[in-house]
Every structure is written in C-alpha cells, then in structure tokens.
Structure 1
Amino acid sequence: MLELNQISKSYKLADNQVFPALRDINISFKKGELVSIIGESGSGKSTLMNLIGGLDSDFTGKLLIEGRNIGEFSSKELDAYRKNKVGFVFQSFNLIPHLSVLDNVTIAMTLSNIGKSARVARAEEILTEVGLKDHMKKKPNQLSGGQKQRVAIARALINDPDIIIADEPTGSLDSETTEQILELITNIARKGKLVIMVTHSEKVANHSSRVVKIADGRIVDDIKGMDIGSAASERASINKGKQNLSMLSAIKLALNNMKEKMTRNVLIAIGASIGITSVILMLALGNGVKGYVTDQMNSMTNPLVVEVNMPIEEEAAMNQNEKGTAEAPPGMPPMDPSAMFGSYTPFEQKDMDKLSDIDHVVEVQKGLNIMALGTNMIQYEDKTSQILMVSTLSENVTESNIAKGAYPEKGEILVSEAVEKDLGQDIIGKEVTVTLKLNEETYQAPLTVSGIYTTGSNFEGTSNMQIMFANYDDLVAIGDKHDFEIQPSTLYLISDDVDHTDSIRQAVADLGYRGSAQEMMADMFLSMLDMLSYVLAAIAAISLIVSAIMILVVLYISVVERTKEIGVLKAIGARSKDIRRIFVSESFLIGLLSGLMGILFALLAMMIVNPITTNLFSFNLVVIEPIYMIAGIVISVLISMAAGIIPAGMAAKLDPVESLRRE
C-alpha cells in the first residue's frame, strides 16, 4: 500500500549549511499493520511522518501510495490525499477550542462539503465507537486528556482514511488511559487500516505488530512485533469526490470562529460603523435640506403651472452689457439682458402654438415680468415704494399666496409684504399710483390694492422683495393708452395633472426655452447642496480607511492566534483556498455587522434629530433613503473584505508543518 524508495530530506540552515534529516529511506507498509517508529529526538521520525502524511512534499526519492508518487502530486492532489487517505492523531490533540466535540470531528467532512445530516450521523457513529456518545456537545476544555485523544482519533477516522498517523498518541496520558488508547488504536489496525505511530516509548512499541527504529535519519532496525490479529470491517459509505468547502460552509465556520472573540469583533464592528454612520448622515442631511427647499419652492407656485421664458440671445446680452446693464452676479442664473420693459424678446404666435402642442398642456396663459431698479414704483399719499419686479397674475399665484385681502379683479393689484411695509398697513382697498417704464418712457396709472402677497403658507415669514402683481389685460390697456403694444415675455403652461408637470418642463427645455428664474435658482441651489453633501460624505468616508486598518490588524492578530488551528485544518485536507475563504468570510461578516450597525446608528440619529427640527422649523432635517442604507452595507462589506485580503492570504500560505509546531 505504501512504499518509500530512497527517500532523502534535508533542511537548509543559516550560512547555506544543510542538515540531512532523512537519508536513503527504503521501507514499505501494508494494510492492517500497526507500526511503531521509535527513535531519539532529532532522529528524523517526525520528518518521516510529515512526508507520509503529505504535509511536506519537498524530498528526493519516491514515496508511493498505491503506486503513485506523492512527490509528483499537485497541491490540489496533496489536499485531497490528506483529506481522504490520511488521518492524523496528535500528541497535543490539536482540537479547535471553540468548536464542540461533534464539530471538531465533523470539520473534515465540512471541508468536503458533505451535507450536515450525513456529517452528524457519521460523527455520532464514530464517537459512540470511541466511547464519547454522551460528550458530543461539550467543548474540548470540558474533557479529560484521554477523552480529548479519543476525539482526535474520531476526527482522524471520520473520512474513513486508509492510513492513520499517530504522533506520540499517548505522550500526554497516564498509564491507564494509555492502555485504553492503545487498545483503541489496535482495533483500528485490526479493521484493515495502516496505523503508523511515532513514539519514544518501548512499552507503546510493544503493542505494535511491527517496530521500526530510526537514528540519524536512517532506518537501523525493522522487527516484527506482536500479532494483533484482524477483525471484519465494513467500509463507511462516504462521498470522496472532489467536493470542497462551499462559501456558505465557510461563512458558518467563520461565524463560529467570531463567536469565540465576540466582544473584540463587536467593538471592531462598532468602530467601523462610525464611518458608515457618518456617510449615511451626511447624505441624509443633504437630502433633508433639499427636500425642505423643494417643498418651499413648491409652496410658492402652483404645481400645475410651468413658467416659460424666451431663450437669452448672446448678441442681446453683449449689447446690454456694453450699455452698462448689470449682468447676473457670479453663480446666479442667467438673466434676460432686457430686464427693462420694451427691449425683451417677446413670444410670437408660433411660439405659443408650439408650446400648446406639448402633451398634457390644456391652456397657455400670457404673462409679463419686468425687473428694474429705481424706475418702477407705487405711490400712496406721501409714501413711495420702489418696485423691483412687476409680474402679471397667473394660476401660479393661488389663494394660498394671499396673506390679506382678496385676489385682484380688473383694475386691481397684489403687492408683497415688503411694499405693505413701505406704504402702510391700511393699504388694502386703497387706490395707488403705479409708475412703469414702458418703451423707454415713464407712464402712470391708478390701480387699487386688493391684497397682500406672501410666498406661501409653508414658509415662515414673507418675501423681502418689493413685488407687484397685476392683471395682464390691465397692463395691455396701459400700453394701448400710450400707443405701446405689449407682448408677452412669459407664458404659463397649465398641465392636466401634477404627474405630467415634469414631462412638460422637460419638453419645454428640449424646445430650447427657459424655465423661470426661480426654478433655475432652485436647481442651482440644489446642485450646490448635492455637491456639498457628497463632499461632506467623502470627508466622512476618510474614517473608513481607519476602519479598514483596524479590520486588517484584527484579522492579522487572528491569523497569529490561530496558526496552529490553520495547521490542523491543512492537515485534515483544507486547501489554501479554503483557509483564505474562511478568513475572507470573517471579514465579510465584520463588514456586514459594521454596515448594519452604521444603519442602526443613523436611524437612531434620525429619530432623535427629526422631532427637534420638526418642532422648531417644521421639517425633517435627516431623510435617509433606502439606497443610502444599501450603499452603506455594500461599502462596509467591500472595505472590510478588501482589508481582509492580506491576512487571508497570509493564512492560506502558512506551512502546515510549521503551523503545527507553533505554541
């Protein structure tokens, strides 16, 4: 079954020196043997066991298992060999402390991705055979030395290997327990398995069917021992295909590992969640302020109305600038250079026809907007108010905009609260003199104030601008009286439904017309808010780098702490990919926990802040969208997994022989 031909193994020492651990080993083994390999420390017996067990494939010569040379195996074949052909029993047991007895035994089958029911049934069968039926749910620290060794033997047998390698299996046991373990090992050999024991004890060797003595890396004696007999045995029905550890199984193992250091992992997750919370809150703050601004802008206008203005011609703008007309301040939306009445670009009938053909537009209303400084004014008795903006009434001005008085009829106007302050509180119902600059000429007309305009019921306070709203027909009549034909500078498109307003607004833009200055300012302000939110979120995200470093350090410490555990996993057939997958799964779980905590903290902050801002300012300052929470979890997981790549790679590259030596 197992044959070693001219096996030699050397170790490189400092100063390019070489130490020969094994020299021309020639020996063969067959099934049903219980072989003891004895020798002094440093004689090479442990090295020989490492080669037979597939833990070390760096040797010269041929090590044949059923005719195949282990020295020519790929890393994948070596993993499969350790998983299916060999079972290890260690002197120090090497049980994984945070796993139960049952889980310690089934771990090798877990690495083979065998179903839970099959794993448990097989483990219960073997644990019953080794006398641990009533101890399956205990942890290793709740067992005696002999019981721990029985668990180790059960783990070695779980995949029904052909070879059992026992390294000083009784070295840590008392004499009575030693006899029990030796009897157990002897029974394993009787059932047709090859059992190879490494021991210092002649007493232990006397229980063997064969004793091989080794000294200075050479076999010096090979003698027959006692007749151990044989016993009938049925091979276990175990799937020994090429199944490997699944991602789900890796996550379950990682979760068990994390439970062992629960406090540390939770604290790391809390630290990492601070960055996620900060990012979510920065985006939510921007969203809340944007919502507030949008609500206030909507409260000032009728949601069914879309204001349309003619596009600004560059040549006209240049001409106006040459005349000294003030242009829009930096960062403000572009202004029609002909803010002065009479020089604007009016809408023609073809424009109105084109706009009226837009889907869902049910009416087109004509309008006029005049902006001027020092030329338009309202006089009442000895009081004067300079009017910054003269606008015509449309469905954009609703009853909610009337703070006092009534909606204007023919010959009446609506003035803002700023004008009321200039002219007096008793201005409603009074006739005033309105002065307008029309066609480069100044004209006056008597009109009656019907009411006071406010920006909306959802807005605390009213506009500080001096604004006058008049009926379009009244302004046309004033123009006709002074031989000046008034044409609309603004059109108001009335939508058949609020849901269609945005599509109408987009169609207007596609035709090349401008929206209202108010909309442009709102869009610009909202864009600035977006930019500010993203900048603040990016600044908050810097803390995620610290989180990544914390996770990297924790996983690195975990690799160092669990080096021996990693060696055990490799000894029972874990691939480097499996080890890497387990540690990456741990980083995934930390990232997931961090993301969930980040969302929780952000939601708690929202629950605390929003009632305060609602009470003080009547709006929610923190508005968390589902996409923010999803992004928080995704970012947290990605950063955590990225941080876990280096420690996971370190763990995967650990040498199993060196790992098993680590205390």
Structure 2
Amino acid sequence: MKLLELKNVNKYYNLAGTQRYHALTNVNVSFEKGELVSIIGESGSGKSTLMNLIGGLDSDFSGELLVEGKNIGTFSEKELDRYRKNKIGFVFQSFNLIPHLSVLDNVTIAMTLSNVSKDKRVKRAEEILKDVGLEKHIHKKPNQLSGGQKQRVAIARALINDPEIIVADEPTGALDSQTTSQVLDIITDIARSGKLVIMVTHSEKVASYSSRVIEISDGQIVADKKGIDIDDLNVAEVSADTAEKDKQNLSFFSSIKLAFLNMKEKKTRNILVSLGSSIGIMSVILMLSIGNGVKGYFNNTMKNYVNPLVVEVNMPQDKSKSPLPADDPRSNMFSMMGSQTPFEEKDIEKLKGIKNVKSVEEGFNLISLGTNSVTYNDKKTAVMAVATISSNITSSNIKKGSLPKKDEIVLNEALAKKLGDDIVGKKITLNISIDEHSYKNDFTVSGIYSPGATTPMSDMDMTYVNYNDLKELLKNENYELKPTTMYLITDNKNYTEGIKSEIEKLGYGGSSQEIMTKMFTQMIDMITYVLAGISGISLLVSAIMILVVLYISVVERTKEIGVLKAIGARRKDIKRIFVSEAFLIGLFSGVIALGISSIIMMAANTVSNKAFGINVVNITPAYALFGVGASIIISMIAGIMPASKAAKLDPVESLRRE
C-alpha cells in the first residue's frame, strides 16, 4: 500500500462574482516511504496548493487524497488536526520560527501541543538538535541565529513528533549556496531514515538531490522523472510514544506557560494594560473596604455604648405608624415615635424567667420630632429623645457631673452644648408629650452624658431621668406610667447573646441602639454599593481595553497562529492560549490592584488613627478574593472574542501574512 496517493484531485478557488479558478486539475500521483521528491514548476503552477492539500492545511478539494489508505478529504477538523500533528512535518522557506520562544521551545512546541511531559520533549528535542548540529544553541532566540541555523531549527521542529511525511516549501530559498548544501544533506538523511520528503522548489540544485522530480504546470502534472538513487534506506515504524501522543492535547498549564512567554515579548505593553485595568478593581476594593471600615467602627462604638451585662428589650413595634415598608429597618424608628406599647406584668414575668437573667429594670423611652423640649433661661430647645437611666449607663459615661439622683436629670453632650457649658447644677424645665397630653417638671442638671465615642445617636438631643421621678410626675397628673423598655441584667457577658436569642423567640424587640445600628449599617451598605457601582464603570473601560489589546495581538501574531495550526494545534488550543493570556492579564491586574489598595489602606489608616483613633479602611480576605476574581473573570470574558477570532483563522492565509 502506498504511503500517500492522490486520485483525480481537483482544487478550485472562488474569485469575484461567480468565477472560479481551477488550481489543480485531475492530479494523480503516489509516493512511497523513503522517497525524496522535488515538485518543480513556475509561480502559480499549483505547487503550493498541492503542498497545502498534502499537508492537511486545505481540505476543500474533490477527488481522493489517501494517506495509508485513508482519504483525508473526509476527515473532520479534529482528525485533520491530529493528521498535521502526527503524520506531517512542515519546513517553510521563511523558517516561521516563533520569535519570542527559544530554539528549544520552538522545537518542542509540537510536543507541547500533544501534552508530552517536559522531560520527554526536552530529551527528544536535544537529540534532534544534536543531529542537526545545534546542540550548543538551544537556549538562543531565533534572532540570534544565522539563516542556515534557523532552517535547521525548522527541520528539527518538523521531525520532533516523528512524522512519516515531511513537506518542505522552498527549504533553501533564503540560504546561500554553502548553507543550502548543508541543509540538503540533512534532508537527504531524513529521507534515508525512511520518511517521505516532498520539497516544493524552483532550484535545480535542490532537484538534483532528489530521488524523484515531479513537474507541474497550470495545475497538472506534466512530468514525473526518476532522480538519483538514495541508498541505505531504513524504513521506520511509528513509535509507541507517537501513538500515545495521538490521544493527547494541549493542557491548561501548558497553555498558561505559552501565554506567559507570549506576554513577555510585549512586556511593557502588558504591564501598562494590567496597571490600567487594576484602577477599576482597586476602586471597587477600596469603596467596599471603606464602607466595611466605617460599618465596623459603628458596630464597635455601639457595643461600647452599652453595658455588656445589660440587654435592652422593647415591645414589638407597630410598623403601621411608619410611612416606610415594614421590612425597612428605619420603620422601627418611626414606630418608636410618640406613645409605645407598654410591658404588662405577664410580659415582665416572661422576661424574668429567661435563663441566666439575674434581675430586671423598668425603663421608658420616648422619641419624638418637636413635641418634647427643655427650657433654660427662657431658651426652649427641642429634645429628640427622653429616656430613663438604667444600668446600661454607668458613671464612666458621665463626662461632667454625676448620675442623677431624685429630681435630677442628665443631658447628653449635644443638648448641653446648646444650653451652655455651665449647665451642670442649673435647673431646667422638661416638657414632654405622652398620648397627646403634655407634662412638665423642673429638674436639676446633675451631669453631662457621653458614650465615649462618636455614635449614630451622638448628635441627637437627649435627656435621661430616673424612672421613678418620671413615674411620680405622671402619677400626679393621673397618668399611670408603664415601662416601654425593660433591661435584663446578667452576671456574665457570655450569656448576652443567648438572652437576646431567647428574647427574639418570645417575640420582643431589641434595643433602640441595635435598631439604630441596623439602620445606619444598611445606609452605609447602600452608599458603599452605589460608590462601588460607580467605580465599577471603569471595569467596563478595562474590559474594552483588554479586548482591543488582544485583537491587536491576534493581528500581530497571525503568522504564528498559522504555524501552530500547521503543526497540529486545534482551534481549542489556539483559543485556550489567548484566553490564558486574558487570564494572566486579569490575574496581574487583580494582584496589582490588591497591592496598591493595601498600601493605600495602610496609609489611610495611619492618618485616621492619628486623627480620630479609628481604621477607616478594612480590606477583608473576601474583598481581596472578590477583587482578584472579578478582575480575572472580566478579563477572560473580554478575551473570548479575540480568542475565537484567532481560532477561526485559516492556516493557509495566516502563513501568507507578512
């Protein structure tokens, strides 16, 4: 059985309109192993077209092209890829070496596409490079080699997968006479080893080395002459390694390595692209981290605002009073304004029965807008909230003066500033409205309350009185005061969360501080996400930039893509290489963004700690992973279109690109 046989092969090219050019006409020819064949003819005679058909670069023809009895004209795209990878070795006139790869990597690229282990492919490449006299140049780049050396690298690349057919397009066209002889001697030795070598050439010297010369004119074979005898043939069988690699393809890690080598060639450009892309990711990370830092600060200060041994309990709020939706935490604040549902004796007994509750205190909170006030020296000032003193407030919270005794009142700092710095010890009149009835009484200011840090409630004008004083005041006006707030006291702060959980199960509400904290936390989250979203617009710009850069890369490397396809790279392999480049750009962008964000965080926190004693930026591991992950995903999405374009390039057209 012939190794290669063409039967009635015809090839047409579509021209403008409906015209067709008949490039090959009824070609009938066969080849055996060990032949060294030269195909000669004028330019445009069909030599290169015939070479492309034999090499599996073009499968659009009629007739039969049989390789070991199998018609490659009926092969699927995957079968053609395997055919080029394992059966064919290409040697090009212009060498077509990949400039950013070393000699070793240029030779092993075909085995890399077959996912052969590094040790095996390096060993094989070193053996072949030694055979062609380049063992001392394996780490050089192509631009460091002479023309003859480059062609020997191309020959070594063609032999690396131990193909049965070598197709050489003008293999000596770019060489001087001395180097031509050296290359032809190597090619002759290849034929002696039992491989079929087919050379397309104009050179009579090249043809004189051949065992057979086929002349083609106007797409037809016009002569088939016997040349010199090539003796000492040793026809080789396909090795076990070759058979095994037929089932393997480019691995993910190999594609990453190739992508990294490609990116090193345009190092400055890729660094700038990664840096530009990192700006958007950095902005998003910082916006989220600032929101997280502020939110953490509020939560910590609110925890410091209360006694850890005291749990505040409120009756469930009637959210029908609120103009906001029931699931909006701010509706709690509206429902707390004015009169509230008081605790009955049965409620108090339930709370007393909660495990680890040592004692309970009754309390009263009244929040209003403009109905409550204090008067001092004929100066009337609105009070946002009136509350009773509890174990939640200790003497450490009193900035000036002391906790109130009978008929005494405490003002918070915001209200005290409005009434005057010397307000402690002075008498003021408290005016409150409960159930649409107004009550007033004179109290002596015993102290000024401070939570110890800025909190969401710090700017509210608030007063604190003893529960019994308020109860007695209202009793004198024939109004029975019932507690709207209960304070559960435990003897170990570790019990606090369990008590809160039990309170929730019983259907009661938490403290006003917790409600405030939840409200402000939600507001901070909303602002943070809006700012992060605005910052995220730059991510779209980054994606477009990456897409453009990768499109440029496809155009720049069109010939390289043609070479990869000629040595058996699948569409999937080409696509994987370019997507891997997008992955690396995204990874580098994310890492750069995270690094710059961390530096900014340290600088900002140093300043904020000195000025306010807080960390204003808090980058969590989740934000760091989100930033890097988002960068990678956006880059890979942007890389899909250029990668698809690269994968769809026609190998013949790609190899013609200068």
TM > 0.5 between the two?
yes
Task: Show the counterpart of 1:396.
Answer: 392
Cα deviation per residue 1:247-301 (whole Å; 9 max; x = unaligned)? Answer: 1110100000000000001111111111111111111222222223333333332
Within-5 A mapping of 1:17-416:
17-232=19-234, 237-238=240-241, 239-313=244-318, 333-336=332-335, 339=338, 344-358=340-354, 361-371=357-367, 389-409=385-405, 412-416=408-412
1:433 deviates by 7.3
Whole-angstrom CA distance in 1 between matches of 2:275 and 2:372: 63
Inter-partner Cα distance in structure 2 for 1:423 and 1:586: 67
CA distance in 1, matches of 2:422, 2:84: 99
The one-letter amino acid of 1:209's match is S
Question: d(CA) in 1 for partners of 2:434 and 2:205?
Answer: 122
Q: CA deviation at 1:45?
A: 1.1
Paired with 2:144 and 2:228, the residues of 1 have a C-alpha distance of 36
Contact 1:383/1:422, CA 8 A, preserved across alignment? no
1:626 corresponds, among 596, 621, 624, to: 621
Three-state SS of the structure 1 residue aligned to 2:245 is coil
**Aligned partner letter, 1:220:** V
Compared CA separation, residues 465 and 49, structure 1 to 2 (3 A): closer
User: Residue 450 of structure 1: CA displacement?
Assistant: 3.8
Contact 1:9 1:20 in 2 (8 A): yes
- 1:417, CA displacement in angstroms? 4.0
Partner of 1:522: 517
Distance of aligned partners of 1:622 and 1:441 in 2 relative to their CA distance in 1, 3 Å threshold: closer
Tell whether the 8 Å contact from 1:438 to 1:484 is kept in structure 2 after alignment.
Answer: no
* CA distance in structure 2 between the aligned counterparts of 1:464 and 1:12, rounded to whole angstroms: 81
Match of 2:563 among 562, 565, 568: 568
Structure 1 427/170 Cα, relative in aligned 2: closer, same or farther at 3 Å?
Answer: closer
Q: 1:649 maps to what in 2?
A: 644
* Shift in CA distance, 87/481, structure 1 to aligned 2, threshold 3 Å: same
Q: 1:576-620 deviations in whole A, cap 9, x for unaligned?
A: 110000000001111111111111221222222222222223222
Q: 1:588 to 1:500 in 2, by over 3 A?
A: farther
2:580 corresponding residue in structure 1: 585
Q: How many angstroms does 1:386 deviate by?
A: 6.9
Check the 8 A contact 2:82/2:246 in 1, yes or no.
no
Task: Check conservation: 2:88, 2:165, Cα contact below 8 A.
Answer: yes
- Work out whether 1:599 is the aligned partner of 2:594: yes
Distance 1:438 1:151 in 2: 96
What per-residue deviation string (whole Å, max 9, x for no partner) do you get for residues 318-363 of structure 1? Answer: 9xx9xxxxxxxx9674445773xxx643201222233345565444
Return the offset for 1:170: 0.7
Moved more, 536-545 or 231-240: 231-240
Indicate conservation of the 8 Å contact 2:319/2:332, yes or no: no
Partners of 1:95 and 1:152 within 8 A in 2: yes
Quote the Cα distance in structure 2 between the aligned partners of 1:524 and 1:133: 73
Give, in whole Å, the separation in 1 of the partners of 2:633 and 2:379: 68
User: What SS does the aligned partner of 2:82 have?
Assistant: helix
Contact 2:363-2:389 within 8 A present in 1 as well: yes
Distance 1:552 1:440 in 2: 67
2:447 paired residue number = 451
Q: Percent same amino acid among aligned pairs?
A: 60
Contact 1:58/1:71 (8 A) holds in 2 = yes
Indicate how the Cα distance of structure 1 residues 314 and 450 shifts in structure 2: closer, same or farther if over 3 A, else same: closer
Matches within 5 A, 1:467-478: 467-478=462-473
Partners in 1 of 2:380 and 2:341 — Cα distance? 30
Q: Equivalent residue of 2:173, what SS?
A: coil
Secondary structure of 1:134 counterpart: coil
Once the 2 structures are TM-superposed, how far is the Cα of residue 43 of structure 1 from its aligned partner? 0.8
- Paired residue type of 1:271: G
Return the alpha-carbon distance in structure 2 between the equivalents of residues 204 and 439 of structure 1: 112
Structure 1 residues 374 and 653 mapped into 2: Cα distance closer, same or farther (>3 Å)? closer
Cα offset, 1:375, TM superposition = 8.0
Tell me the SS of whatever aligns to 1:108. Answer: helix
Assess, with a 3 A threshold, how the Cα gap between structure 1 residues 194 and 398 changes in structure 2: closer, same or farther: same
Instruction: Give the C-alpha shift of residue 9 in structure 1.
Output: 0.6
> Displacement of 1:430 after TM fit?
6.9
- Inter-partner Cα distance in structure 2 for 1:166 and 1:461: 80
- Paired residue secondary structure (2:209): coil
**Which residue in the other structure is 2:606 paired with?**
611
User: What's the CA shift for 1:387?
Assistant: 5.7
Q: Please tell me the residue identity of whatever aligns with 2:249.
A: N
Contact preservation (8 Å) 1:417, 1:462: no
Letter in 2 for 1:88: F
- Name structure 1 gaps, 5 residues minimum: 322-329
Greater mean deviation of Cα atoms: 65-74 or 225-234: 225-234
Give the unaligned 5+ runs of structure 2. Answer: 324-328
Aligned length: 648
Greater shift in the superposed pair: 526-535 or 70-79: 526-535
Cα gap change, 1:187 to 1:364, in 2 (>3 Å) = same
Match of 2:546 among 530, 545, 551: 551
- Does the Cα contact within 8 Å between 1:476 and 1:486 map onto a contact in 2? yes
Question: CA contact under 8 A between 2:107 and 2:156: conserved in structure 1?
Answer: yes
Q: Contact (CA 8 Å) 1:283, 1:537: kept in 2 or not?
A: yes
2:319 and 2:335 in contact (8 A); partners too: no
Q: 1:172 to 1:411 in 2, by over 3 A?
A: same
Q: Label 1:436 to 1:275 Cα distance change in 2 as closer, same or farther (>3 A).
A: closer
Q: Give the TM-score taking structure 2 as reference length.
A: 0.91
**1:410/1:177 CA distance change after superposition, 3 Å:** same
After alignment, is 104-113 or 417-426 more displaced?
417-426
Given the two structures, how large is their TM-score scaled by the length of structure 1? 0.90
Alpha carbons of structure 1 residues 186 and 305: separation in structure 2 relative to 1, 3 Å = same
Asked whether the equivalents of residues 438 and 479 of structure 1 are also in contact (C-alpha less than 8 Å), the reply is: no
Letter in 2 for 1:302: N
Match of 2:655 among 649, 655, 660: 660
Aligned residues: CA RMSD: 3.0
Structure 2: distance between partners of 1:275 and 1:338: 44
CA contact (8 A) 1:282 1:536 kept: yes
1:203-249 deviation per Cα after TM superposition (whole angstroms, max 9, x unaligned):
21111111111111111111111111024476655233310001111
Q: Distance in 1 between matches of 2:377 and 2:97?
A: 101
Residues 1:483 and 1:655: Cα distance change in structure 2 (over 3 Å): closer
Cα distance change, pair 395–212 in 1 and its aligned pair in 2 (3 A): same
Is the 1:109–1:119 contact (alpha carbons within 8 Å) kept by the matching residues of 2?
A: yes
Residue by residue over 1:478-528, the C-alpha shift from the partner in whole angstroms, topping out at 9 and shown as x without a partner, is: 556666543211112335655664565455455443334443333222212
